[in-house]
Amino acid sequence: MMKLLVDTCTFLWIVGGGRELPPRIRDLYLSEDNEVYLSAVSAWEIAVKHATGRMPLPELPQRLVPTERDRRGMTSLPFDEESALHVSRLPVLHRDPFDRMLVSQAIVHGLAILTPDRLIMQYPARTIW
């Protein structure tokens, strides 16, 4: 069993039908043997980008995110204080604060991140793609 954290772009690709996903990634998040998490950080990122017009969605994020997360059997992962404080220990390889928070959560909670982001892959967190 693996504990997996779905990156924001990966979640959106899953919601959109998953054509961008390698078969291995699809198999991992669909496997009932794995625990799959969507961070509150991803929900925040989607809401912010949608509100600023940078992320068009078929419906409002406050409906889309929980509905699609639940439909896919993912567990919501709150952003906790320990993960917030761990961000300061990361090297500044990635300027995106949302991605840095996801990396911190993965490290603190022992999760592997499902992400194609090469910058995230440079951090000391386990990534799979």
Output the pLDDT for position 23: 96
Q: What is the pLDDT along the chain (129 residues), one digit of tens a residue?
A: 999 999 999 999 999 998 999 999 999 999 999 999 999 999 999 999 999 999 999 999 999 999 999 999 999 999 999 999 999 999 988 789 999 999 999 999 999 999 999 999 999 999 999
Residue 72: how many CB atoms within 10 A of its CB?
15
Q: What is the CATH number of the domain that holds 40?
A: 3.40.50.1010
Structural domain range at position 74: 3-128
**Predicted local confidence at residue 31, as pLDDT:** 96
> Is 71 in a helix, a strand, or coil?
helix
pLDDT at 18: 85
Number of domains making up the chain: 1
Pairing of the two strands 75-77 and 35-39: parallel
Residue with tokens 């709150």: 78
pLDDT of residue 103: 98
